[in-house]
Amino acid sequence: MNETTTTPATVNKIFRIGGDLPVHRIGYGSMQLTGPGVWGPPEDVENARAVLRRSVELGVNFIDTADVYGPNETERLIREALSPYTPGVVIATKGGMVRSGPWTATNPGMSFNGTEAHLRRAVESSLRNLGLQQIDLYQLHRADPTIPIEETMHVFRALREEGKIRHIGLSEVSVDEIERARSVVEIAAVQNIYNLTIRKHDDVLAYCERNGIAFIPFWPLHSGALAKSEAMAAIALQRGATPAQVALAWLLKKSPAIILIPGTSSLAHLEENVAASGIELADTDIEALDRLEV
């Protein structure tokens, strides 16, 4: 990134993860690149690789994944499609859970495992799958309810000191859990559910913004529902945008600490989502969206 030519407008479009990894605030989430129920490979593997390659061509340089997507499928796809990585592309993955089957209405097919033995195996496996020497951002997918988060963070700190991971993130945590984690090691990012419909983590977002921590809302499109929202159609029409773009632009404007990772398996949706960075919502749009029942 050339600092001397960076305009204020582009500064606002970049977040420095951990203070040293500049990424565009529209990234890409890879969870849609699996089979149904986040299980097995995607039906169209070539399309999945094309989506990943196109994301980087479009300037996306923050890609989110997890070992339980597939499991291992999206990490391997990312390596196959993007390695050797373009300099500046930041890959974030997650560990601390185990997938034993597909996600269904009655069974998420996943369980916690925050033990040191599991986390060490998981990091080695993610490094191999992704073809990396070091993981830029390693996120605890969920705090294991049977292990104090401080204990898990001691393992993460050791992995960082060993050079296997560069920055540490958490997922679906409270302010209290972030503070407990930070008593052991620096936290660079928090990935919690957040979108126009679900705003229960407003306190976590404000905390992250105050403390220079990236806030990465997962389900930015409410798993696709916001892209179909009729309630947002009027604002979208006024801005010459789609409802999905309005939902993403609302998040971008909500806080400079937000980095987006919309998930898609479609090249057209990818182009549309990345173009949301060019959509400027007026304060009146924000007020209307804040009041909206979506």
Tell me which residues are annotated as active site: 69
Residue in 191, 204, 235, 254 binding ligand NAP, rule: CB under 6 A: 191
Indicate whether 221 belongs to the interface with ligand NAP (CB under 6 A).
yes
In the bound complex, what is the minimum distance in angstroms from residue 115's beta carbon to ligand NAP?
19
Interface with ligand NAP by CB under 6 A: which range of 42-50, 99-107, 118-126, 223-231?
223-231
Size of the site for ligand NAP (CB under 6 A): 26
Q: For ligand NAP, give the closer residue by CB, 152 or 287.
A: 152
Buried b (16+ CB within 10 A) or exposed e, 245-279: bbbbbbbbbbbebbbbbbbbbeeebbebbbebbeb
Residue in 261, 279, 281, 289 binding ligand NAP, rule: CB under 6 A: 261
Sign, CA torsion 277/282/283/288: negative
In the bound complex, what is the minimum distance in angstroms from residue 10's beta carbon to ligand NAP?
23
CA distances, 97 to each of 94, 100, 124, 144, 166 (Å)? 8, 10, 15, 8, 20
C-alpha span between 286 and 246 (Å, rounded): 10
Tokens of 150: 């401080």
> Using omega within 30 degrees of 0 as the cis cutoff, is the peptide bond preceding 84 cis?
yes
Check: CB of residue 96 under 8 Å from CB of residue 112: yes
Check: CB of residue 216 under 8 Å from CB of residue 172: no
Indicate whether 31 belongs to the interface with ligand NAP (CB under 6 A).
yes
Residue in 168, 263, 279, 285 binding ligand NAP, rule: CB under 6 A: 263
In the bound complex, what is the minimum distance in angstroms from residue 11's beta carbon to ligand NAP?
25
Indicate whether 34 belongs to the interface with ligand NAP (CB under 6 A).
no
C-alpha span between 123 and 131 (Å, rounded): 12
Indicate whether 171 belongs to the interface with ligand NAP (CB under 6 A).
yes
Interface ranges with ligand NAP (CB under 6 A): 29-32, 64, 171-172, 191, 218-224, 227, 244, 261-266, 269, 272-273
